[in-house]
Structure 1
Amino acid sequence: MDTMSINAETVRSATSVARARENTRDFLEDLAQPIGAEAADTVVLVVSELVTNALRHGGGTCTLNLTAHPDSIEVAVHDSSPHAPRMRTPDRTGGTGGFGWHMVNHLARTTTVTRQPVGGKTVSALLPR
């Protein structure tokens, strides 16, 4: 079974979002059972969105965990906020916001939000390989 996990450092800034993307690319490239370029781009996009949302709405720090399963890649981001992501009406007037959670739910097989007993929550997305 091709299962691997990595724990990225605590993410604290926008430059750390770029580092999270780089760590994800490295993780995907090192898998014993590689995934295609399109699937890898999708995983990186979801990582970027979940980490950005955690920084913006989840208390300013987060932890990223990636796990490779035989038929999927799991992206899990933990932050200190107990509030689950919510669907918002996207701002189509040129502003930003409201598109990300819709996009993650569209790209992922499943998404889950788990409140943690030690505080905060973990948002997970399961993506096809």
Structure 2
Amino acid sequence: MSPAHRTPVAGPGPEAGGAITSAAAAREHVRGLLREHGRTGGANPDAVIDLLLVVSELVTNAIRHGEGLAGFEAALTERGVRLAVTDNSDTVPAQAYGSGEIPHTSRTGGYGWPLIIRLSESVTVEPRPEGGKTIHVTVPLT
């Protein structure tokens, strides 16, 4: 297993090894992690797409609903990538421990958490003592 790659959420842009401030920057960081450790060639291309979708959903949720992105980490595991996304809200998303069933309503939105659940091997939400929470997921690449 490779060590976690912690990336600050303020400072210079990701191209300079700096901050993750958007879903696009987080996706690029994870792509770079895969390239750096030679995991892009052997990984299932659909699994990489799934991983990047989970990254996008988690970071976007932190920005939109979590009172701002407070931290982002990605680490390689034997089977995939472990992500930790921290935000400033104490509220646990209602669907975080749901079944992963896609909503069958006509309303807009509500698809992110079911996708995260379906594409991840594990999902946990950890409250932070100083406030906010960290969402941990492991996404397989096999």
Provide the TM-score with structure 1 as the length reference. Answer: 0.83
> What aligned pairs does 1:20-39 form with structure 2 within 5 A after superposition?
20-34=26-40, 35-39=43-47
Contact conserved, 2:69 with 2:85, CA < 8 A, in 1?
A: no
Provide the TM-score with structure 2 as the length reference. Answer: 0.77
Runs of 4+ aligned residues of structure 1 deviating over 4 Å after TM superposition are none
Of residues 43, 47, 53 in structure 1, which corresponds to 2:51?
43
Tell me the equivalent position of 1:59: 67
The number of residues matched between the two structures is 124
Tell me the equivalent position of 1:101: 113
User: Are 1:117 and 2:129 an aligned pair?
Assistant: yes
User: Are 1:127 and 2:133 an aligned pair?
Assistant: no
Q: In structure 2, do the counterparts of structure 1 residues 36 and 30 end up closer, same or farther at CA, with 3 Å as the change threshold?
A: farther
In the alignment, the residues of structure 1 paired with residue 53 and residue 33 of structure 2 have an alpha-carbon distance, to the nearest angstrom, of 14
Q: Deviations over 1:18-62 (max 9, x none)?
A: 111111111111125553322221111100000000011110233
Could you tell me which runs of 5 or more consecutive residues in structure 2 were left unpaired when the two chains were aligned: 11-20
